[in-house]
Amino acid sequence: MADSTTDVLICGAGIAGIASAYHLSVRHGIKNVLVVDERPPLSLTSDKSTECYRNWWPGPGDAMVRLMNRSIDIMEELAHESGNAFNMNRRGYLFVTADPDRIRTFTRVAEEAAELGAGPVRYHNGRPGTQDYVPAPPQGFEDQPWGSDLITDTALIRKHFPYLSERTVAVVHPRRCGWFSGQQLGMYMWERARERGASDREIHDTVLIAAAFCMFNRYVDGLGTWAPTDPDVYRQRAPITARDGYASSIHRILAQQP
């Protein structure tokens, strides 16, 4: 491998590494960003995610809700920028119960999420004056409500969720939640990052060599093998090993032994 330098080195080409490369190169103008991985981008755990998102998180504290609201803001910016290349939608999550005693729990949880910043609760109980329930479209993410819909009107539940059991007495529908294609999002960010100068490099052999040395070191430790403690010994041997290879270095060591 030829000698090279880079301003930023990112180890790992999963969704976190690709997103870091995107923001550094595209959003912050750093052109010399190198991503290294022994595998192609987004090909290990990043292609096995459920690919769902939500700002509906319990406490204590609002840290996760604030983090996810900011993350969803960024995803929506990318969706607008890319023409929604990664098929982001806002279908939401749905929590269901057939136990009337759990309606109080659903109410408490929805109100707690609202207090933490997930958005207001809309109550749909069939009484006059309640807000209309707006169902989520199967595609798209724009112009959708935040917060959650707490539906205890069983006729309304049957109308919009006919696949649920007839015993269902309440549903909570958190709305700033949905699905997107993590693979397509990652590849969109990676393509934009490469346009701005980011690059990737396969280091399969390097990773294998490093792993082998880790194994050898464990093996040597297990045998209780003696090793010199004076750093100068290694400084003297390193140029010989670099010049002549390991076999010659080992031969020299053995030749010096009585």
CB burial of residue 153 (10 Å; 0-12, 13-18, 19+): middle
Question: Which pLDDT score, from 0 to 100, does residue 150 have?
Answer: 98
Question: Which pLDDT score, from 0 to 100, does residue 79 have?
Answer: 96
Q: How confident is the model at residue 256 (pLDDT cuts 50, 70, 90)?
A: low
- The token duo for 67 is 């983090």
Question: What percentage of the chain exceeds 90 in pLDDT?
Answer: 59
CB burial of residue 94 (10 Å; 0-12, 13-18, 19+): middle
Checking if the pLDDT of 117 tops 80, the result is yes
Q: How confident is the model at residue 51 (pLDDT cuts 50, 70, 90)?
A: confident
Q: How confident is the model at residue 6 (pLDDT cuts 50, 70, 90)?
A: confident
Q: How confident is the model at residue 244 (pLDDT cuts 50, 70, 90)?
A: confident
* DSSP single-letter state for residue 14: S
CB 164 within 8 A of CB 85: no
Question: What percentage of the chain exceeds 70 in pLDDT?
Answer: 83
